[in-house]
Amino acid sequence: MAETHDRIAVVDFGGQYAHLIATKVRRQQVLAEIRQPEDDVAKFDGFKGVILSGSPSLSAHGEDSDWNKAILDLDVPILGFCFGHQEIAKYYGGTVIHGGREWGHAKLHIRREHPLFEGLGSVEPVWMSHFDSVASVGPEFEELGYTITGTDRNAHSYAAIGSDTLRRYGFQFHPEVDDTVGGDQMIGNFVRKICGCNPSWDMDRFLDEEVARIREQVGEGSVFLLASGGVDSTVAAKLFGLALPPERLKLLHVDNGLMRKNESAKVIQMFEGLGLSDALYFVDASDDFLAALDGLVEPEQKRHAIGQTFIDVFEREGERLGISDHLLGQGTIYPDTVETGGTKRAHTIKTHHNRVPIIEQMMAAGRVVEPLADLYKVEVRELGERLGISSEALNRHPFPGPGLGVRLLCADGTCLVPQVGEQLNLLAGEFGVQASVLPIRSVGVKADLRSYEHPVLLQGDVPYSVVLEASRRILADMPGINRAIWDLSGRTGGQYTAVAATTTRARLTILQEADQQVMDGLRRHGLYDTIWQCPTAMVPLMVDGDEGELVVLRPVLSERAMTARPSELPTALIEELRSGILELPSVVGLALDLTSKPPGTIEWE
């Protein structure tokens, strides 16, 4: 069917957003397909244009520069983003330097009217995440735009470049992420005006073709799906139910002990409402998961243990039910794959439970069916609407497969903080706040690379806008820090010491209670549907000699989880949460996460 559509090729250099580019092209009702940098040019036959993605490479002079550059000689328009932008500049006589890094929001100043920017203003907000920069362009190219980042008054040149003669263009920023407000328009302009594509692709076509793909892959076999009750697994369950006869679909809901308060009972009720109760089996395996997590501290070790335990339970229950020969169905979506380093050049940010080695082995053996693997959450919800799933079920906040296991931070009590005291204090002082680097680490992403660095705790009676700008400056300028949080407990100063803690049922109970208060508060204040996701994390810490838990609220705004912005909470809600959460056993503090993604991931682990 693909041959009946105009197509755009997206060359995947392993950046976090490669498939998001394809998604954004598809939102223009034009089919996009992923190609690899090493592919022979014959694999690009029939495409009307090419987009080069970003890359996790720290340098445009590194190993990722070794790719099939004959792609750049194709007789079609080509547009590069970030690393792709730099590669286009170099190939046609420009220079790229290691410097001029930009992270987060910037303002693109457009030099002149151009079809790429039709329908946009002369200044557009864009999203940056890069170390290298284009320093000059070849003779046939011009600068189409430059950027100014944050409070930086210096212009960053060549943020957008182009040659109408060669039909080659480049953006240093990421138009595919939602934080580049006009990014969809820019991509649409390239696809329609530069490449001349006609719109003929939509989610209805995807649904029809995915049902056919499931039937082809499964054949006369059956599918056994781990049904967590989250949006992804619920949509996958309905899709399997549409594609397969009822007797060839089994759903297993596992209570892993890492779920929200009373979550399993709610999930079972929801599947009954979807007409899938006859296929649903339930098992309480919380003891298995707690045993697997006993003594583990590092996030990747915890994720692997959770993923392996899911498979152990799957195989055990499959044998008990007499369906061990079934294919494993998963509601994996694309961010799960790319953050796990699941494409050839992608850097591992965090291993998702559905991408641990045993799953990879099963995939290689053809035992896994993943109908949503190329989609993002917003597309999964759109597909769910077409499948008749209620908006209440589809609009639930995303919840990680490893559950509270990656929101309950663990430590061995020996973490040392980087020596940045004086520089940090001077920078924080410019905004009237105090800053302390905490002896704990969390996962982040910088320029498509995984970081495992420290959060900084900010204190001060200043407006949210001020502390937010302070956090942005600190995250941009200070090494060894990838997250900033704001103390909501009213404390000034304090001594923060690392303590040892692992995953226990007692700690999980405290976190479940805190999470329940946050979810109830968001609904009470009419914010649940506005905020994309609000993880509640818990950090073991000794504060001024009191050993306990620091609870961190992480409300974010996003569309596809590949980027995110922190969300402000109303004062009334903060006061309610402060009085409720600080009364929980062992809780010694409450903080609000101010970090965008990048440099911090949405989840802390």
Cα dihedral sign, 46-185-55-111: positive
- DSSP helix/strand/coil, 272: helix
Angle at the Cα of 63 (from 57 to 66), degrees rounded to 5? 120
Do 470 and 458 form a contact (C-beta atoms < 8 A)? yes
- Rounded to whole angstroms, the Cα distance separating 443 from 334 reads 19
- Rounded to whole angstroms, the Cα distance separating 30 from 314 reads 39
- DSSP helix/strand/coil, 486: strand
| Candidates 87, 102, 124, 176; catalytic one | 176
Amino acid (one-letter) located at 22? A
| Candidates 114, 174, 326, 347; catalytic one | 174
- Rounded to whole angstroms, the Cα distance separating 347 from 15 reads 8
CA 581 to chain centre: 28
Helical ranges in 351-496 per DSSP H:
357-364, 377-386, 391-394, 421-429, 464-477
| Candidates 5, 19, 82, 352; catalytic one | 82
Per 3-state DSSP, what percentage of the chain is helix, strand, and coil (rounded to 5)?
Answer: 35, 25, 40
What the block records as the tokens of 263 is 């979550």
Cis bond upstream, residue 598 (ω within 30)? yes
Angle at the Cα of 202 (from 198 to 206), degrees rounded to 5? 130
- Rounded to whole angstroms, the Cα distance separating 177 from 174 reads 6
Using alpha carbons, select from 289, 481, 500 the residue that is nearest to residue 402: 289
Q: Which residue has the tokens 């597909």?
A: 383
Do 485 and 456 form a contact (C-beta atoms < 8 A)? yes
Residue 534, burial from CB neighbour count under 10 angstroms (0-12, 13-18, 19+): buried
- DSSP helix/strand/coil, 441: coil
Is 82 catalytic? The answer is yes
Length of the chain equals 605
Using alpha carbons, select from 421, 426, 427, 432 the residue that is nearest to residue 467: 432
Bridge pairing between strands 49-52 and 587-593: unpaired
- DSSP helix/strand/coil, 497: strand
Is 352 catalytic? The answer is no
Is 174 catalytic? The answer is yes
- Rounded to whole angstroms, the Cα distance separating 468 from 489 reads 17
**Residues involved in catalysis:** 82, 174, 176
